[in-house]
Copies of this chain bind each other. A is one copy, B any other.
Amino acid sequence: MRPATRPRESSADVHTDRPAVLFDLDGTLLDSVYQHVIAWKEALESAGIPLSIWRIHRRIGMSGGLFLRALVRETGRELGAAEADHLRELHEQGYRRRIAEVRPLPGAQALLELLTRAGVPWAIATSSSDATAKTSLSLLEIPAGVPIVTRDHVQYAKPNPDLFLAAAEALGRPISESFVVGDSVWDLLAAQRANALGIGVLSGGYGREELETAGAYRVYDDPQDLLEHIDELGIRTHV
């Protein structure tokens, strides 16, 4: 762990075998990235904005505002605030129409249950809105009291650190003793800015080297692979 820069809890309160784990949602716990990609493609096409699908994929997980700003740069098309809001709404509708195709990633539910049983505090921090996150989270069993932080709770979504900072605060844990688990470079950049340790998963479709370059300390295939190597995070689960 990196040294904390704030006053520490008393050492008796700190379980170094139980650091907090802050999860991204789409592509990290749910196999939902490609449905988000197609929903954005559809929304942009309906507005007459052409953008290659891989370019959309590479921006999933970042703040919707930044996504649309990058788009303006890449297509040279200006977007007014009302049009941007409309596109975001179309994307959310398109994603929710596809929710029946979305599945939890292998090992996602088991990993969350293991952490809960082991007394490891965990939370979810997603660039989605409250409404879309709620739809997605219906696919997982989340115990009462687990903090769910969405873009509706912070000023800036990823790659700004606000979502993960808010999640650690909701758990009452220092961010510098927290792991951030995410599938996208936006999660890992946000983790670096938040001074958390970033863990990458390949299940959102990024390449391993992209995640490492963005600051991933370790990269696993998916939640199942992370679950099978949870000891590598210094998390002891023989409780």
Is A233 among interface residues, defined by CB-CB distance under 8 A?
A: no
Q: Is A114 interfacial (CB-CB < 8 Å)?
A: no
Among the stretches A8-16, A83-91, A155-163, A206-214, the one at the interface with B is: A206-214
- CB–CB B38/A205 < 8 A: no
A213 to B38, CA, bound (A): 28
Contact of A207 among B50, B101, B103, B207 (CB under 8 A): B207
Q: Is the CB of B209 within 8 A of A54?
A: no
Interface centre among A27, A54, A204, A210 (most CB of B within 10 A): A54
Interface of A is mostly: helix
Complex CA–CA separation, A203 to B37 (angstroms): 14
**Residue interface bits A94-107, CB-to-B below 8 A is 1, else 0:** 00000001010110
Would B106 and A52 count as touching, CB distance under 8 A?
yes
Chain B residue contacts of A210, Cβ below 8 A:
207-209
**CB of A31 within 8 Å of the partner chain:** yes
Chain B residue numbers with a CB within 8 Å of A203 are 52, 54
Within 8 Å of chain B (Cβ to Cβ): is A222?
Answer: yes
A224 vs chain B, min Cβ distance (A): 9
* Interface 0/1 of A168-209, CB less than 8 Å to B: 000000000000000000000000000000000011111111
- Is A18 engaged at the interface, CB distance under 8 Å to the other chain? no
Any B CB within 8 A of the CB of A53: yes
When C-beta atoms are compared, the residue in chain B nearest to A106 turns out to be: B52
Set of chain B residues within 8 Å of A207, measured between Cβ atoms: 206-210
Shortest C-beta distance, A209 to chain B (Å), equals 3
CA distance A84 to B11 in the complex (A): 59
Min CB gap A194→B, angstroms: 24
Return the CB mask of A18-56 against B: 1 if under 8 Å, else 0: 000000000100010110011001000000001011100
Q: Does A57 have its Cβ within 8 Å of any Cβ on chain B?
A: yes
B202 touches A54 (CB 8 A): yes
Once the chains bind, are A205 and B54 in contact (CB under 8 Å)?
A: yes
Question: Can you list 14 residue pairs at the A/B interface with Cβ under 8 Å?
Answer: A27-B54, A31-B52, A34-B34, A34-B41, A34-B53, A38-B38, A50-B103, A53-B205, A54-B202, A54-B204, A57-B205, A207-B208, A207-B210, A209-B210
